[in-house]
Structure 1
Amino acid sequence: MNNAPDLLRLADQCVKCGYCLPVCPTFLHTPNEAESPRGRVALIQGWLTGALEPTAPLQLHLDHCLLCRACERACPSLVQFGQLMDGARALQIKTQPRWRAVFMQLGLTLLTQTRGLLLITAAARVYQWGLHWTRRDADVPIAAQSSWAVLRQLTWYLQWPINPPCPPFTKGGNKVDSFTTGGDAVNSFAKMGDVIGVFATGGDAVNSFTKAEDETSAFTKAKNKKIGALLKEKSPPALFLGCVARVTENETATALIQVLQSLEIDYCIPTAQGCCGALLRHHGYPDAADRVLKRTAATLRDAPVIIGYASACVAELRSHAQLNAVESCRFLINTPALKTAHLRPLAARVLVHEPCSQHWLGDPQAAYQLLQLIPELVVQSLPDNGHCCGAAGTHFLQFPSAAAAMASAKIAAIRELKPDYVVTTNTGCALHLNMQLQASGLAIRVVHPVVLLAMCLLSLNDKLHGRSFNQFTLVGGNHFY
């Protein structure tokens, strides 16, 4: 829906009641009526009817929207605000000069490809060196310093040159003890690149997993092929790696694979998969998003279920490709094998951050239910979960000062409660919160719930040898096609 008449019909459903105002992060941050859902609906109506000119301030008010869609849950008229904003941004792009629209699309395309992300990392580091050697750090405007701070911190997560993925809790084949001791998990963000790593590029993005040591044949062929109704098909579930998540969440991908192997659940990783198209769609390029998603969906169609560990990607696959996609926490909870699995205790406290995308899936409780299976783990909700953290796709890169302000209440709560871990199921939220914690001087890791589960799950091989911890050694079999 990216034509003016359809968007106007959608906007006219809004009765301007104002129930959306208290739940809108941008309105609470300013507060400015033009920064509220009600205000943006009015701006769109004025623009599309010709009553308002598409000035730079008007366009900026629309760009500031996080697309968290909290307003949709509060709206008594059931206005589909996310769809309205996507359509308005698509029309915005059409009004831009051709060169600018192409340039913006190129930047987004780089963000959705492994090589592009690493190229951005290299450019960011060159920029950092240039500022340092020319001693111009103090001359950079405050807004630019804020934007640069995000890029500089992002380089810890996007490492160059490319390194193959490895089990995150092993280094050189030896167990890293700090990862098995709860709150003492590697807190140095300077070493985060060693923890997360990156996937190889292009078609070989995940092939390096196949080189894992074949320590035991117990996992080469999973025996449990009836995981509820979803796994009665002949084909195994497929893992969706995504684009940004593929580079920044190697730790999560490795943990999920270890859990599936430990539970003897077969799986496959289609090597031709790509981006879900969400970044392109939410920035006004629906046609490009559909093309990208179509290619990705073609590689996943045969799977009875697609398991994703980035909730925003799962929501995109489900809503725009009509795929049977499920977030990894919910998949594991519905797995009979997990109910009888042996989990070692983890004496730690964890705060659960609820991404907006987990609410879109209608399943904000999945992470809580999964973590509550771990003995001795204290699971609490992160205060201010009702509001977006400010990550919102690329919002924390485009508007870092505003994004930091929106996360400030959460960071203050983390400082006060002093958890051992913060968990979230969305890639952007994890990056944003990790960066804000680092900037605040808090050495607390933000991880995916599956990472904590993998730390505590005793594999079949562990039980056979009487071991009391999981060493995260990837084993057995070719799970790629």
Structure 2
Amino acid sequence: MNGMPLENPRHRIAVLADQCVQCGLCLPVCPTYALDGNEAESPRGRIAIAAALARGQFPPTPELRTPLDHCLGCLSCERVCPAGVKYEELLVETRALLGPAPERPGLLLEVVKRPALNHRLQDLARWTRAKHWLGRVLPGRWREALSLLPRNQDQVRRAQDKLKHPRPPATGGEGGTVALFPGCTASVQDAEAERAAEMLLTAAGYRVVRLPALCCGALDLHDGATRNAETAAARVRQVWADVSADHLITVTTGCLSTLRQALPDVRVDDPYRLLAERIDRLQFHPLPARVALHVPCTQANVARSDATLTQLLQRIPQLELKRLPTPPYCCGSAGSHVLQFPERAARLREGVLSHVETLDVRWLLSSNIGCRLHLAAGLDERSSNLPTLHPLTLLAQQWIPS
């Protein structure tokens, strides 16, 4: 490394890569290795590529960068690594060094990150004929994005109608003040889940304040668009500084890691632990039904709240919960991955949906909006009417107002 300063990004990547002992324990939990059976598409293969690029041993040819672009960032490897390799940091640093992938649909993602434009796309999805027509004339990546918009708007409206409980009376916030981060896509596509979180947290004794809807920067940060990510992080810090709260929460687990990086001294989490800490204040109607629970990679490996969520759902009497298999069974959504590599994303999704079909369930639950839209699109392709819901929406539907 020839005396490069420690803050040099190339040096930093090399230092992170040197932590890997090449043991191979990451291979069984890597979705892309399971998909391709190719060592370059494994965590230790990507670490070796990142180290070689950082040290200037090879130029960043398409053949070398493609496995890095294919990585889902699920972090299952980081969770099982006995050497404690900081794989997410290494991946983010390497992508920042290389810049965004050639396949990245930059203009489309700029639309996705803007809630006002998201609203217009949501309205467009209600017009089925227009959607089919646009699906024929739009470029490929835009067609993929259009396919992810909910087609069964009746399901969305029914979920929203069931959330029209009397609003819990505002309390003194004896549990503390919670700031809800709406996000960009989630603020539109997961609006009912955010209302559910606000309702349940208020009933549990928290004071809830809502931040402005904006992008946290996750899409840019994990795609190597560093300058855009830094701008988004600055906006997050500003809106946080404008409120007085004890916790920051998001209903979208894909935002957690980026929010935690932007606000390292703040407790940033999904709502489940806060609800679990005051669960005795919440009662639920029985629900004699079987539901499938999809645990997003970010919930299992970043939030690590999957056990807490399971405990909360089990508070609903008579509910039979079927958890879907965990790594290497990633659904393939992974932020912008579903738009950059739709064929690979669809292949990864097939394993998840094939298992769902064996369970005879009434709902499919998933707590990350990208995963849920991707899974719903796959169900639609299979002509399945299985509804998809955020777990918070189901909890709020069954909540008994006191």
Where on the TM-score scale, by shorter chain, does this alignment land: which range?
0.7 to 0.9
In structure 2, the CA distance between the partners of 1:327 and 1:93, relative to structure 1 (3 Å rule), is same
Deviation at 1:105, TM superposition (A): 5.1
Deviation at 1:68, TM superposition (A): 0.6
Q: Does 1:151 align with 2:149?
A: no
Match of 2:353 among 393, 406, 411: 411
Deviations 1:115-147 (A, max 9, x none): 343566799997852665x8xx9xx9xxx5xx5
Deviations 1:142-166 (A, max 9, x none): xx5xx56633322337xxxxxxxxx
Q: Does 1:191 align with 2:154?
A: yes
In structure 2, the CA distance between the partners of 1:345 and 1:42, relative to structure 1 (3 Å rule), is same
Q: Which amino acid aligns with 1:250?
A: A
User: In 2, distance between residues paired with 1:131 and 1:409?
Assistant: 26
**Structure-1 residue corresponding to 2:4:** none
- Answer yes or no: is the 8 Å Cα contact 2:289–2:320 preserved in 1: yes
Deviation at 1:16, TM superposition (A): 2.1
Deviation at 1:220, TM superposition (A): 4.8
**How does 1:32-431 map onto structure 2 within 5 Å?**
32-93=38-99, 106-118=107-119, 128-129=132-133, 132=136, 144=140, 150-156=144-150, 189=152, 191-192=154-155, 194=157, 219-223=168-172, 225-227=173-175, 231=176, 236-263=177-204, 265-271=206-212, 273-301=213-241, 302-322=244-264, 323-335=266-278, 338-358=279-299, 359-384=301-326, 386-431=328-373
Deviation at 1:254, TM superposition (A): 2.1
Task: Say which is worse superposed, 276-285 or 109-118, in terms of deviation.
Answer: 109-118
- Answer yes or no: is the 8 Å Cα contact 1:2–1:90 preserved in 2: no
User: In 2, distance between residues paired with 1:219 and 1:127?
Assistant: 39
User: In 2, distance between residues paired with 1:266 and 1:81?
Assistant: 36
In structure 2, the CA distance between the partners of 1:110 and 1:402, relative to structure 1 (3 Å rule), is same
Give unmatched runs, 5+ long, in structure 2. 1-6
Deviations 1:31-75 (A, max 9, x none): 111111121122222223333221122222211000111111222
- Answer yes or no: is the 8 Å Cα contact 2:108–2:142 preserved in 1: no
User: In 2, distance between residues paired with 1:326 and 1:255?
Assistant: 16
TM-score, structure 2 length as denominator? 0.86
Indicate the RMSD between aligned Cα atoms, in angstroms: 3.1
User: In 2, distance between residues paired with 1:306 and 1:423?
Assistant: 23
- Answer yes or no: is the 8 Å Cα contact 2:149–2:373 preserved in 1: no
In structure 2, the CA distance between the partners of 1:244 and 1:310, relative to structure 1 (3 Å rule), is same
User: In 2, distance between residues paired with 1:361 and 1:260?
Assistant: 18
In structure 2, the CA distance between the partners of 1:315 and 1:88, relative to structure 1 (3 Å rule), is closer
Q: Which amino acid aligns with 2:331?
A: C
Deviations 1:7-51 (A, max 9, x none): 112112222222221111111101111111121122222223333
In structure 2, the CA distance between the partners of 1:123 and 1:13, relative to structure 1 (3 Å rule), is farther
**Structure-1 residue corresponding to 2:3:** none
User: In 2, distance between residues paired with 1:251 and 1:121?
Assistant: 14
User: In 1, distance between residues paired with 2:99 and 2:338?
Assistant: 21
SS at match of 2:60: coil
User: In 2, distance between residues paired with 1:332 and 1:83?
Assistant: 30
Q: Which amino acid aligns with 2:187?
A: R
- Answer yes or no: is the 8 Å Cα contact 1:294–1:321 preserved in 2: no
Match of 2:27 among 18, 21, 43: 21
**Structure-2 residue corresponding to 1:206:** none
Deviation at 1:391, TM superposition (A): 0.9
Deviation at 1:268, TM superposition (A): 1.2
Deviation at 1:219, TM superposition (A): 4.1
User: In 1, distance between residues paired with 2:134 and 2:270?
Assistant: 42
Q: Which amino acid aligns with 1:79?
A: V
- Answer yes or no: is the 8 Å Cα contact 1:329–1:449 preserved in 2: no
Task: Say which is worse superposed, 342-351 or 296-305, in terms of deviation.
Answer: 296-305
Q: Which amino acid aligns with 2:282?
A: A
Task: Say which is worse superposed, 45-54 or 14-23, in terms of deviation.
Answer: 45-54
In structure 2, the CA distance between the partners of 1:250 and 1:13, relative to structure 1 (3 Å rule), is same
Q: Which amino acid aligns with 1:67?
A: G
Give unmatched runs, 5+ long, in structure 1. 158-188, 198-211, 461-481
CA radius of gyration, larger in: 1
In structure 2, the CA distance between the partners of 1:300 and 1:14, relative to structure 1 (3 Å rule), is same
User: In 2, distance between residues paired with 1:122 and 1:449?
Assistant: 24
- Answer yes or no: is the 8 Å Cα contact 2:330–2:352 preserved in 1: no
SS at match of 2:170: coil
SS at match of 1:267: strand
Percent identical residues: 32
Task: Say which is worse superposed, 20-29 or 7-16, in terms of deviation.
Answer: 7-16
Deviation at 1:315, TM superposition (A): 3.1
Deviation at 1:285, TM superposition (A): 2.2
TM-score, structure 1 length as denominator? 0.73
Match of 1:4 among 1, 10, 15: 10
